[in-house]
Amino acid sequence: MRATYILRRIGSSILLFLLNTIIFFILIRMVPGDPIYAMYGYDPAIPFTKEDIERLRHQYGLDQPLPIQYWAWLQSMLRGDFGYSYETKIPVNELLRNRLFNTLLLQSIALFFSMLIGIPCGVIAAVKPHSKTDNILGAFSIFGFSMPQFWFGIILILLFSVYLGWLPTGGLHTIGGETTVIDTIRHLILPVTTLSLTYATAFMSRLTRSSMLEVLREDYILVARAKGLNEKVVIWKHALRNALLPVVTVAGLYLAFMFSGSAIIETVFAYPGVGYLMVNAAKHRDYAILMGVNVLVAIVVITSIVVTDIVYAFIDPKIRYT
């Protein structure tokens, strides 16, 4: 039962992935203008002749029917070849590899700090639901949800970089300087603060709160209290350990969704990650990069969703295998 569930889950996610790539493949082919112009630029002073375009279209296989083009793309994608950037002619692979590491670095540090702050906040809120503390923490989490990330980042840059001059305004390393750990940390402080103080911490604290509320209703908590255990031990040891399970699983899932926000945060801080790469590629209509980023993100997101589902199936016996 469980094995078939897992197999079906993996099968449907592969289908989902293929559907995703097909849709984006078609979308990109629907773009106004010939891809040849996107690759070589268009200069009205030296227009391409019709023969030039025909020749180039043939060379790149653009004169083939769409399904054949897609099949060719899929084959090279499975070999790990995403082609070359239209603009810089650098292999997309190479670009993605460096950028992915930077994005994961930033996002996982931010996730760590938001769990560090968010989980205790959620526990404190859940201990006395609907109390003053709970309401204040709830209001703070709404503040976090509502804060435009880019605006908060800009305000931090204005305050700490432009006026106080304490921290660099963006990037990951000082240009022309030596790449040291301290230098990298200095560059990471503002983006990490922005990311964790806006959406992430609020999300973690809400998640912990609702999970804790559920656990605190359980009989074993009543038993622990009846045994005369210290309330602190009951809350932070007995309850939190059990409440953390869904929090940690969802945190894994959430890391995938942080990719989405990376476009914003990385643009604000000119941070060399996947999001910034994507925004710039879209501005320059560099479709090779766009397609590569899409595949990368789809793989990371779908994998993390499937892994979360499977982990859940193992942990929670109540789950229905449908």
Partner 1 sequence: MVTHLPYKEVRVIHQLSVFWRRFKRSFTAEIGVFIIVGFFMMAIFGPQISPHEYVKTNLNEQNRPPSPEHLFGTDGLGRDVLSGVIYGARISLFVGISAACISTVIGTIVGAISGYYGRIIDNLLMRFSDLFLVTPAYFLYILLIATLRTRSILYIMVILGVTMWPRLARIVRASFLSLKETDFVKAAKTLGASDRRIIFRHILPNAMAPIIVTTTFNLAGAILLESSLGFLGFGDPTAYSWGSMLERASEVIRFAWWQATFPGLAIFLTTLALNFVGDGLRDALDPRLRAL
Q: How many residues does the chain have?
A: 322
Burial code of 113-128, b = ≥16 C-beta within 10 A, e = fewer?
A: bbbebbbebbbbbbbe
The residue from 6, 28, 77, 229 that contacts partner 1 (CB under 8 A) is 28
Among 121, 278, 288, 289, binds partner 1 (CB under 8 A): 278
> 179: Cβ–Cβ under 8 A, 6 or more apart, which residues?
173
Contact window for partner 1 (CB under 8 A) among 64-72, 97-105, 231-239, 289-297: 289-297
Count Cα atoms within 13 angstroms, Cβ side, for 59: 9
- Taking the C-alpha atoms of residue 216 and residue 2, their distance in angstroms, rounded to an integer, is 30
The yes or no reply on residue 118 touching partner 1 (CB under 8 A) is no
Give yes or no for a contact between 145 and 202, defined as CB atoms under 8 angstroms apart: yes
Candidates 21-29, 69-77, 101-109, 186-194: pick the segment binding partner 1 (CB under 8 A): 21-29
Report whether 210 contacts 125 (CB < 8 A).
Answer: no
263 contributes a contact to partner 1 by CB under 8 A: yes
Contact call for residue 302 and partner 1 (CB under 8 A)? yes
Window of 1-9, 59-67, 175-183, 283-291 that interacts with partner 1 by CB under 8 A: 283-291
Question: Could you say which of 6, 16, 167, 310 contacts partner 1 (CB under 8 A)?
Answer: 16
Distance between CA atoms of 4 and 12, rounded to whole angstroms?
Answer: 12
* Residue type for position 264: I
Q: Which of 7, 14, 23, 233 binds partner 1 (CB under 8 A)?
A: 23
Q: By CB under 8 A, is residue 44 in contact with partner 1? A: no
Among 74, 109, 305, 313, indicate the residue that binds partner 1 (CB under 8 A).
305
Q: Are 89 and 284 in contact (CB under 8 A)?
A: no
- Kindly state whether residue 184 participates in binding partner 1, applying the rule CB under 8 A: no
Q: Tokens for 321? A: 């295998």
Q: How many CB atoms lie within 10 A of CB 25?
A: 19
How many Å apart are CA 227 and CA 224, to the nearest integer?
5
Q: By CB under 8 A, is residue 321 in contact with partner 1?
A: no
205 contributes a contact to partner 1 by CB under 8 A: no
With vertex at residue 282, the alpha carbon angle to CA 279 and CA 283, rounded to the nearest 5 degrees, is 85
Q: Check residue 98 for interaction with partner 1 (CB under 8 A).
A: no
Q: Does 315 bind partner 1 (CB under 8 A)?
A: no
Decide if residue 185 touches partner 1 (CB under 8 A). Answer: no
Q: With binding defined as CB under 8 A, does residue 127 bind partner 1?
A: no
Task: Select the residue interacting with partner 1 from 257, 307, 312, 313 (CB under 8 A).
Answer: 257
Kindly tell me which residue out of 69, 133, 210, 242 binds partner 1, with binding defined by CB under 8 A: 210
User: What are the φ and ψ backbone dihedral angles of 272, each rounded to 5 degrees?
Assistant: -75, 70
Is 90 a binding residue for partner 1 by CB under 8 A? The answer is no
| Nearer CB in complex with partner 1: 16/229 | 16
Residue 77 lies near partner 1 (rule: CB under 8 A): no
Give just the sign of the alpha carbon dihedral 66, 71, 77, 79. negative
| Residue closer to partner 1 (CB basis): 93 or 146 | 146
Query: Nearest 5°: phi and psi at 84?
Result: -115, 150
> Which residues are CB-neighbours of 221 under 8 A, at least 6 positions away?
215, 234, 238, 239
What is the contact surface with partner 1 in residues (CB under 8 A)? 12, 15-16, 19-20, 23-24, 27-28, 30-32, 135, 138-139, 142-143, 145-151, 154-155, 157-158, 162, 210, 213-214, 256-257, 259-261, 263-264, 267, 275, 278-279, 282-283, 285, 290, 293-294, 297-298, 301-302, 305
